[in-house]
Amino acid sequence: MSTETKPSERVTVETTLNGTEVEQTVPAGTLLSAFLRNHEYLTGTHRGCETAKCGACTVLVDGDPVKSCNMLAAQVDGATVTTVEGLADGEDLHPVQQAFWDCHGSQCGYCTPGFVTNVVALLEDNPDPSVEEIRSHLTGNICRCTGYTKIIESVQEAAARMDGDGK
């Protein structure tokens, strides 16, 4: 996007989204979560609270987990965005997704995309986290179904399978 030296009502967003270059001109007030769902039709990113409290909308921006309901789409211009749709390799689920599947880390699934993306970032930084570290990393993600135990087990299982090599 060219820089706007005058405040403008529409912005052009150019971003690498799940490995693909995309470019769209949208109203400046478009939230990143709305951009992903309503403009890119990537509905894996869920909208829960839309007040930055539940983490269901978590995506990776330049590798860092952020709440996409708490950012403007304009802010990812020039950045790399990864949503839950960008994790699998074709038909093969990402090891974190597979571990959530195998360990029942997901029940209704509403919170799952946010947890999975956040966990992918955790394991990249810390391939062998303690239960304490997992819990603390996931404070921004709320799940009303699982009671968290199965989620923690899924993270530990994913960490063991990925064996510290991030894949």
Partner 1 sequence: MLIPVAPQWETDVQGLKYANPETVEEACTLLRDHGEDAAILSGGQSLLPMLRQRVGSYDKVIDINGLPDLEYVRETDGEIRIGCLSRHVDVASSSVVEEHCPILADVAAEIGDVQVRNRGTFCGAVAHADPSGDPPVVATLLDATIVARNADEKRTLSGSSFYHGFYETDLSKDELVTEVRFPVLSAGEGAGFEKYEPTEGAYPVATVGAYLSLADDGRIENATLVTGALEAGPTPMDDAAEVLEDREPTDDVLTEAAEQLGEDTMPVDDFEGSAAFKTNISKKLAKDALQTALDRAENER
Interacting residues with ligand FAD (CB under 6 A):
52-53, 70
Which window, 7-15, 83-91, 100-108, 146-154, contacts partner 1 (CB under 8 A)? 7-15
Q: Does 107 bind ligand FES (CB under 6 A)?
A: yes
Cα 157 to the chain's mean position, in Å?
20
Q: What is the CA radius of gyration of the chain?
A: 16
Check: CB of residue 140 under 8 Å from CB of residue 119: no
61: which strand partners? 64, 81
And the tokens for 91? 């038909």
Nearer to ligand FAD, 25 or 136 (CB): 136
Q: Does 48 bind partner 1 (CB under 8 A)?
A: no
Look at residue 146 and give the partner it binds from partner 1, ligand FES, ligand FAD, none, a contact being a CB closer than 5 to 8 Å depending on partner kind.
ligand FES
Q: Does 51 bind partner 1 (CB under 8 A)?
A: yes
Positions 12 through 31 that interact with partner 1 (CB under 8 A)? 27-31
Q: Which of 17, 57, 120, 152 binds ligand FES (CB under 6 A)?
A: 57
CA distances from 61 to 67, 80, 82, 103, 135 (A): 10, 6, 7, 27, 22
Q: Which of 14, 22, 24, 75 binds partner 1 (CB under 8 A)?
A: 75
Q: Does 74 bind partner 1 (CB under 8 A)?
A: yes
Residue 144 beta carbon to ligand FES: minimum distance, rounded to whole angstroms: 4
Check: CB of residue 35 under 8 Å from CB of residue 73: yes
Between CA 99 and CA 96 the distance in angstroms is: 5
